[in-house]
């Protein structure tokens, strides 16, 4: 999924989005399982353009069409957050997965769980959460 993170700036390219859509859907489905996201939570994180039937198809491994820019950005942020948490708690992956549901006192969460913060705040909150995790890990991982 390194290509997905590297393509964050190229999501306006139809070809890049077409190439990244299936891997992004597979990665999101795996992430949803790791974080034990309910259907409602998954739909809220993915935004208004993804419905229940699409989510059901994704869970079955079916990807039809190409993700739009918003969908790809959301998945990219979530995967970056997941990866950063795994780096922080590499010896305790269950703790990394549980973090999204913990109440976090730090800015920008102000006592709310990061998952609730991202659901309520959408894409900008996902970007803030990603920046928070990158700050805690010393930045995004090297892709060199």
Distance CA 53, CA 33 (A): 18
pTM: 0.87
Instruction: Sort 108 into a burial class: Cβ within 10 Å, 0-12 / 13-18 / 19+.
Output: middle
Q: Which residue has the higher pLDDT, 140 or 33?
A: 33
Checking if the pLDDT of 1 tops 80, the result is no
Mean pLDDT of 41-57: 92
User: What's the pLDDT score for residue 64?
Assistant: 84
User: What's the pLDDT score for residue 68?
Assistant: 92
104-112, long-range: CB within 8 Å, 24+ apart, which pairs?
106/132, 108/132
Q: Per-residue pLDDT tens for 76-133?
A: 999 999 999 999 999 999 999 999 999 999 999 999 999 999 999 999 999 999 999 9
| CA angle, 139 then 140 then 141, to 5° | 115
């Amino acid at each position: 999924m390194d290509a997905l993170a590297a393509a964050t700036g190229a999501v306006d390219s139809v070809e890049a989005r077409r190439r990244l859509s299936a891997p992004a859907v597979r990665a999101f489905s795996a992430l949803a399982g790791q974080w034990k996201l309910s259907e409602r939570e998954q739909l809220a994180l993915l935004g208004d353009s993804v419905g229940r039937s699409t989510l059901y198809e994704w869970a079955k491994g079916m990807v039809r069409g190409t993700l739009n820019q918003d969908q790809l950005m959301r998945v990219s942020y979530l995967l970056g957050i997941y990866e950063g948490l795994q780096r922080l708690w590499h010896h305790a992956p269950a703790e990394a997965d549980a973090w999204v549901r913990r109440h976090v006192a730090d800015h920008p969460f102000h006592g709310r769980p990061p998952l609730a913060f991202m659901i309520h705040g959408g894409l900008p909150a996902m970007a803030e959460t990603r920046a928070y995790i990158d700050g805690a890990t010393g930045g995004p991982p090297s892709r060199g």
